[in-house]
Amino acid sequence: MPRKGEQVADRLRLMAVHAHPDDESSKGAATMAKYVDEGHEVLVVSCTGGERGDILNPRLADDIHIQRDLPRVRRQEMARAQEILGVQHSWLGFVDSGLPEGDPLPPLPDGCFALEPLEVTTEALVREIRRFRPHVMTTYDENGGYPHPDHIMCHTVSMSAFQAAGDPAAYPHTGEAWQPLKIYYNQTFNRDRIVAFHEALLSLEEESPYHEWLENWQDRKPRTVTTRVHCADWFDRRDQALLAHATQIDPDGSFFRVSRELQRRVWPTEEYEAALSYVPVEPVEDDLFAGLRDVDADALATKSGLELAYDGRKDPS
């Protein structure tokens, strides 16, 4: 519901595109819950149903009923997480590619999301964009956040659909053209955040689960964080939504090793990297809707001949 005094016309719309159910609750969930409580509309798009995921919670690993029908269970988990966050949700309808393992890596299964033609996946997401009409989108960077084939495909299709949705000549049967005005990469798992948690735990003489994470970070190229959304008041909702994905989340795992009180003190924000924007991006933003709250965003999103004001893909860092 809108806050007192807020008009419906002031609502803005955010679309968060994710590869699998549970990704939305580990990347940007507190931000989404914050915007929902402010009266804005938030839609999570799950590109796949997570059909080929493993049961990662050791407490449920031997549950034969879950093993027999994991896709159904994951849909139920997503429904619960959606309810907790207060967001809208849409399944894009593609099939989980699975995470190939081994040396050499096995081929991806036929018909999976990562092997779908780009024009097919782009058309599906363009249809959702034109239906929901988001002003802002979030997705993963070109590395997928980590190199899961579905995460990389999620990036590729998100960028493709972001640019196609505003073109009346592209996929005309999917609805009227609508140009989202900004698209961001989720950067929740940035190195500075992990270092801060690691050092905070050590200072309290507690065991840190992040030694291996930081060792594996040595060869990663630093990312450019442009936006830090203060959302500590919504960390509890984020954690509840994450735990709703019970097959995927170990409640005793590293996600929950840092208390919410310590997180509030050490790192009360969620981070994003602006990729493309039709309005200027000022460093460092504290709002994904920065630059849109004082303009007619709907009129801007339907205006022909828009030119990019910011292209973070050209940033050499």
Radius of gyration from C-alpha coordinates of the chain:
19
Residue 195 included in any domain: no
Q: How confident is the model at residue 102 (pLDDT cuts 50, 70, 90)?
A: confident
Question: Helix 29-37 crosses helix 235-244 at what angle (to 10 degrees)?
Answer: 120
Residue 205 included in any domain: no
Say if residue 58's pLDDT is above 70.
yes
Burial pattern 105-142, b for ≥16 Cβ within 10 A else e, equals eeebeeebbbebeeeebbbbbbbbbbebbbbbbbbbbe
pLDDT tens, 220-230?
Answer: 778 999 999 99
Residue 201 included in any domain: no
Residue 218 included in any domain: no
Say if residue 18's pLDDT is above 60.
yes
Residue 266 included in any domain: yes
Where in the sequence is the domain holding 310, given as residue range(s)? 12-189+224-314
Mean of the per-residue pLDDT values of the chain: 93
129: Cβ–Cβ under 8 A, 6 or more apart, which residues? 15, 137, 161, 162, 165, 178, 180
Is 287 known to sit in a ligand binding site? Answer: no
Amino acid sitting at position 65: H
Phi-psi region of 219 (alpha: psi -120 to 50; beta: other; left: phi over 0): alpha
Amino acid sitting at position 313: R
Say if residue 266's pLDDT is above 70.
yes
Is 315 known to sit in a ligand binding site? Answer: no
The encoded tokens of residue 297 equal: 């965003």
Domain with 167 in it: what CATH number? 3.40.50.10320
Q: Check residue 213 and give its pLDDT.
A: 82
Nearest to 196 by CA among 273, 258, 108, 121: 258
Residue 199 included in any domain: no
Is 148 known to sit in a ligand binding site? Answer: no
Q: How confident is the model at residue 216 (pLDDT cuts 50, 70, 90)?
A: confident
Residue 7 included in any domain: no
Q: How confident is the model at residue 313 (pLDDT cuts 50, 70, 90)?
A: confident
Tokens 């630059």 found at: 291
Task: Report how many domains make up the chain.
Answer: 1
Say if residue 65's pLDDT is above 60.
yes
pLDDT tens, 166-187?
Answer: 999 999 999 999 999 999 999 9
Residue 206 included in any domain: no
Q: Check residue 222 and give its pLDDT.
A: 84
pLDDT tens, 41-55?
Answer: 999 999 999 999 999
Say if residue 315's pLDDT is above 70.
no
